[in-house]
Amino acid sequence: MTVRRLGFRLPPLPNFCTRGRFGVFPAPMTEHTPKKLFIKTYGCQMNVYDSDRMADALAPHGYEPVQVMEDADLVVLNTCHIREKASEKVFSELGRLRDLREERRANGQDLMIGVAGCVAQAEGDEIVRRAPAVDLVFGPQSYHRLPELIARAHNGSKVVDTDFPEEDKFEHLPAARKEVTLARGLTAFLTVQEGCDKFCSFCVVPYTRGSETSRPLEQVLREAQTLAEAGVRELTLLGQNVNAYHGLDARGRTVGLGELCYRLSLIPGIARIRYTTSHPLDMTDELIEMHRDLDALMPYLHLPIQSGSDRILKAMNRRHTVAEYRSVIERIKAARPDMALSGDFIVGFPGETDADFEETMQIVAEIGYASAFTFKYSIRPGTPGAAMDDQVAEPVKAERLARLNALITTQMRDFGRSVVGRTLPVLIEKPGRQPGQVGGRSPYLQAVHMDGPTRLIGQIVPVEIVAAGNNSLTGKIVTVAEPNPASVIESRASAAHI
């Protein structure tokens, strides 16, 4: 991958621009010029987090989010390149947007169209060539420059910015207003690490997100503190390889994910911490011990193995064997026996034989997953897997996927049933579907529905699990703790939901 540095020449300053520390930023709009923003998010949780940060970056410039694409003045597609289908979806959406813009223009109005995320990073100019209606294309490292990019696009030029700039975008992305954070919910994503150096031979992420970087400890703590002050109770720390986190503290010491979780747990209001996605090779002793010692660290771990065959793992360049994965799981279970496990599996990687696939079925049967994501191998141009000879036929992939899914569905159902009769601490997150009901999550990330008052939103209450459905549990609140009036966090959270 070539990493290009900030290479564009800035246009003459338009009169509505101001010069910021790192370039030219349009001045925030006045209240006379509100603009409507619609961001459509594809792909992983990191894109969900990024979409919110883009909205936050544009809010001071007068952009208000709208729920319907047809109402927007600016539509941004925040894209995913991980599999062919994900990436092709973007181009069909761009076709729809082109038609929408034509309708607008016929009525004397306009629509600006932007493409962000991993397809933008991977395809750059090619997007504008294939879909000329697109005004701006920008990669994940440019989100702090979005106001400036929009200003340039307003001047009529097509803007393509897929550089990996030197400045730290997180230092320049504004925080959301408290009401906005709270409206997003009591659980929040927080990106702590980006990029990947592992180069699995099927995967585009090291090319689209660049090499592994970790945010400094204090910067993450500050963001978490702001989230907690707005009422957030649960954080999910994000990274393409989150357990490779190695941020620097104020003294220049390297801090691992375990210590980061501990420091976050000290922030008043933060009751639960999760993280995703992890690589088996980066499950350090420190992190595993934290699962034993830190109550706030939830007993749910997404730890993909991808295949149960050593031969295929080698071809995938996973750099670990099945035995090594098994031993990581044993260490985790020794520290936290009730750990619920989740994974990702790819079927039909080039060269995968029936015997290799049976080994995948075996490891799934042996580990027993609480949930898992399964995929048919998808050829990604530019990755080593794309050049491998022995590609597996589509019907074979489909059959293997169906068998694996059947096994995993059974395991997920069994896991749900295994908690029936137990009393679990449930974080009440929102009103339920029916009046008089509330919804929350168990420590194992299971959705739980139960009768209860909305004033409990934001609290963790003991709930007896009485039934397990396909995707959620039904529970009964055991004792209802009265909300503590001194707790600003809890009362704010409740007020927003009543």
Binding-site ranges for ligand SF4 (CB under 6 A): 196, 198-200, 203, 205-206, 240-241, 279
**Which phi and psi (to 5°) does residue 145 adopt?**
-95, 5
Establish if 385 lies at the interface with ligand F3S (CB under 6 A).
no
What minimum distance in Å lies between the beta carbon of 297 and ligand SF4? 22
- Contacts (CB under 6 A) with ligand F3S, residues 95-154: 117-118
Angle at the Cα of 328 from the Cα atoms of 243 and 301, rounded to 5 degrees: 50
What minimum distance in Å lies between the beta carbon of 360 and ligand SF4? 16
Return the closest-CA partner of residue 276 out of 244, 240, 306: 240
Establish if 377 lies at the interface with ligand SAH (CB under 6 A).
yes
What minimum distance in Å lies between the beta carbon of 253 and ligand F3S? 29
What is the spatial distance between Cα 135 and Cα 114, in angstroms, rounded to a whole number?
6
Alpha-carbon torsion 240, 246, 249, 255, what sign? Answer: positive
Return the closest-CA partner of residue 442 out of 417, 472, 466, 467: 472
3-state DSSP assignment of residue 474: strand
What is the spatial distance between Cα 116 and Cα 41, in angstroms, rounded to a whole number?
9
What is the spatial distance between Cα 398 and Cα 361, in angstroms, rounded to a whole number?
15
What minimum distance in Å lies between the beta carbon of 365 and ligand SAH? 19
Establish if 209 lies at the interface with ligand F3S (CB under 6 A).
yes
The binder of 380, among ligand SF4, ligand F3S, ligand SAH, none, by C-beta within 5 to 8 A per type, is ligand SAH
What is the spatial distance between Cα 199 and Cα 347, in angstroms, rounded to a whole number?
18
- Contacts (CB under 6 A) with ligand SAH, residues 73-92: 82-83
Map residues 16-45 to x or -, x wherever contact with ligand F3S holds by CB under 6 A. Answer: ---------------------------xx-
- Nearest to ligand F3S of 43, 443 (CB atom): 43
- Nearest to ligand SF4 of 196, 332 (CB atom): 196
**Which phi and psi (to 5°) does residue 390 adopt?**
-85, 65
Which stretch in 157-165, 282-290, 371-379, 488-496 sits in contact with ligand SAH by CB under 6 A?
371-379
Establish if 380 lies at the interface with ligand SAH (CB under 6 A).
yes
Establish if 208 lies at the interface with ligand F3S (CB under 6 A).
yes
What minimum distance in Å lies between the beta carbon of 173 and ligand SF4? 23
Q: Which amino acid type is present at position 476?
A: K
Q: What is the 3-state secondary structure (H, E, C) of 179-225?
A: HHHHHHCCEEEEECEECCCCCCCCCCHHHHCCCCEECCHHHHHHHHH
What is the spatial distance between Cα 233 and Cα 440, in angstroms, rounded to a whole number?
12
- Nearest to ligand SF4 of 137, 203 (CB atom): 203
What minimum distance in Å lies between the beta carbon of 353 and ligand SAH? 18
Map residues 158-177 to x or -, x wherever contact with ligand SAH holds by CB under 6 A. Answer: --------------------
Establish if 274 lies at the interface with ligand SAH (CB under 6 A).
no
What minimum distance in Å lies between the beta carbon of 243 and ligand SAH? 10
Q: Tell me the β-bridge partners of 137.
A: 115, 160
* 237, 188 Cβ separation under 8 angstroms: no
Angle at the Cα of 17 from the Cα atoms of 16 and 18, rounded to 5 degrees: 130
What is the spatial distance between Cα 100 and Cα 98, in angstroms, rounded to a whole number?
5
What minimum distance in Å lies between the beta carbon of 306 and ligand SF4? 7
Q: Which amino acid type is present at position 477?
A: I
Q: What is the 3-state secondary structure (H, E, C) of 308-363?
A: CCHHHHHHCCCCCCHHHHHHHHHHHHHHCCCCEEEEEEEECCCCCCHHHHHHHHHH
Establish if 205 lies at the interface with ligand F3S (CB under 6 A).
yes
What minimum distance in Å lies between the beta carbon of 382 and ligand SF4? 13
Q: Which of 210, 304, 416, 440 binds ligand SAH (CB under 6 A)?
A: 304
- Chain position whose Cβ is nearest to ligand F3S: 43
What minimum distance in Å lies between the beta carbon of 371 and ligand F3S? 17
The binder of 43, among ligand SAH, ligand F3S, ligand SF4, none, by C-beta within 5 to 8 A per type, is ligand F3S
Angle, helices 285-293 vs 257-265, to 10°: value is 30
What is the spatial distance between Cα 439 and Cα 449, in angstroms, rounded to a whole number?
5
Q: Which of 46, 115, 116, 203 binds ligand SAH (CB under 6 A)?
A: 203
Write out the residues near ligand SAH by the rule CB under 6 A: 82-83, 202-203, 205, 240-241, 277, 279, 304, 306, 344, 346, 375, 377-378, 380
Write out the residues near ligand F3S by the rule CB under 6 A: 43-44, 46-47, 80-82, 117-118, 204-205, 208-209, 240
